[in-house]
Amino acid sequence: MPPKQKSVALKGKDAQTLIKNYLLSNKKPYAITDLVQNLNGQVTRTEALRALEVLLGQDYITSKTFGKIVIYSRKDIPIDFENEFKEVQDVDQYSYDTLVQLNEEAMELEREKGAAKKELDDTIRHPTNAQIEDDIERYTVEIEQLEKNIQELSQESTTNNKEDCEQLSKQLSSLEKETKSRRKIFQNIKGILVEQVGPKAISELLEDLGVTTI
């Protein structure tokens, strides 16, 4: 029998819709752990908390805090939170299923932490605006020089000497590859700068640097 495939947990608006419909269809308040368990893994604890914050902000549901535990419920049904959860603060043990759920959520948080750290590291590694401007100017000059060399070699390629023609052809091919590589680097730098300052600002910057055909 093939292993049972693990369903993909809902996120964003899908998670919000699921939790909203569940809370609005029940007259009972829920703590986050109970809510996640009752939804049978359709949404993680992290996504459930995010969805609940959105639903609270949209005034669909209400919440009440008891010590470190937050209780969530639909708004239009009066609920005696004190009696419903009078023992909730005295509970100091979790069931096996709850511990498994919490462990999975802890692992997910660790993955999210790693992804956030990677994004931060990538952001830190981005060059500054001043560095990008210097690179743009330098690569512009190099590309112009390469194109000039290509043009000169093209004019000289009318020679009848076969060896000279082959040599010039190799040089032309090499210069064209180098030019293409430099253009790609330039476009990557330009793309980073566009994200930071916007298309209009980059156009003005390139114009100030004398870049008109790149």
Averaged confidence pLDDT in the chain: 73
Q: Where are the domains of the chain?
A: 1-81, 126-208
**CA-based max dimension of the chain:** 101
Q: What pLDDT, in 10s, does the model give residues 13-42?
A: 888 898 989 988 887 888 888 888 888 878
Q: Alpha carbon of 46 to those of 49, 50, 53: distances in Å?
A: 5, 6, 11
pLDDT bucket at 95, cuts 50 / 70 / 90: low
Amino acid at 57: G
Whether residue 130 is predicted with pLDDT greater than 50 in this model: the reply is: yes
CATH of domain 1-81: 1.10.10.10
Q: Could you report the per-residue pLDDT of 191-207, keeping only the tens digit for each?
A: 777 676 666 666 776 67
Q: Are strands 61-66 and 30-31 parallel, antiparallel or unpaired?
A: unpaired
Contact 70, 63 (CB under 8 A): yes
CA angle, 169 as apex, 164 and 173 as ends, to 5°?
150
First to last CA, the chain: 60
Evaluate whether 46 touches 105 at the Cβ level (below 8 Å): yes
